[in-house]
């Protein structure tokens, strides 16, 4: 009982150290703490509920395998999110959606994803992301949700840096118009 409490109150870094020593309970606590954020990011990238859960599980299994590589620079959650985002992109590319990465302004994504989370009225960001094309959504989520640089996102997507940058820019413009229209107008006036 006391042990369970100590795991529940332990800092992420302590749990990572215990997990690296093979403590499954400590790693389970990390999964419990951070799985919602990881699954949420994947849904925001456009994954449907079951796919997001599947990729999130893969990400945590990969994290357990590589946990001794995590040196504590940055948060554990951000680290797992990057692993998950890269895994999802791999799957997304495998499913022959790479042609969507052509530098064209495709229509809004048909995969709104998100199951319970997709309720547009509940979360502004989810609703705004649903108006983006699939490549814009993935590129914006990789850069602002998973914390990848443009170059890292381009490498993960195996796409030219310029293409990723233009998807991010177009996606940002759409999100800005939706989430902060007054700021967008100010920017346009300034330009």
Nearer to another protein, 158 or 169 (CB): 169
CB < 8 Å & 24+ apart, contacts of 59-65: 59/83, 59/84, 59/87, 60/30, 60/31, 60/35, 62/87, 64/19, 64/27
Nearer to another protein, 155 or 179 (CB): 179
Nearest-Å Rg of the Cα atoms of the chain is 18
Nearer to another protein, 57 or 98 (CB): 57
> Whole-angstrom Cα distance, residue 43 to residue 141?
10
> Whole-angstrom Cα distance, residue 180 to residue 114?
23
Least separation in angstroms between CB 58 and another protein: 9
Least separation in angstroms between CB 133 and another protein: 17
Nearer to another protein, 85 or 101 (CB): 85
List residues near another protein by CB under 8 A. Answer: 24, 27-28, 31-32, 35-37, 39-41, 44, 53, 56-57, 60-61, 64, 116-117, 123-125, 140-141, 144-145, 147, 172, 175-176, 179-180, 183, 187
How many CB atoms within 10 Å of residue 84?
30
Least separation in angstroms between CB 99 and another protein: 26
């Amino acid at each position: 009982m006391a042990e369970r409490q100590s795991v529940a109150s332990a800092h992420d870094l302590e749990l990572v150290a215990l997990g690296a020593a093979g403590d499954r309970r400590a790693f389970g606590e990390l999964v419990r703490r951070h799985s919602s954020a990881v699954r949420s990011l994947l849904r925001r990238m456009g994954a449907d509920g079951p796919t997001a859960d599947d990729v999130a599980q893969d990400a945590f299994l990969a994290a357990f395998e590589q946990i001794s590589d995590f040196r504590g620079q940055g948060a554990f959650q951000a680290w797992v999110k990057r692993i998950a985002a890269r895994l999802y992109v791999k799957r997304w590319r495998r499913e022959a959606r790479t042609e969507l990465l052509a530098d064209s302004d495709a229509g809004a994504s048909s995969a709104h994803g998100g199951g319970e989370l997709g309720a547009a009225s509940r979360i502004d960001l989810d609703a705004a992301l649903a108006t983006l094309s699939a490549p814009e959504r993935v590129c914006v989520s990789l850069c602002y949700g998973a914390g990848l640089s443009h170059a890292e996102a381009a490498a993960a997507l195996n796409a030219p840096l310029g293409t990723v940058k233009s998807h991010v820019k177009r996606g940002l413009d759409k999100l800005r118009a939706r989430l902060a229209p007054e700021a967008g107008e100010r920017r346009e006036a300034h330009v």
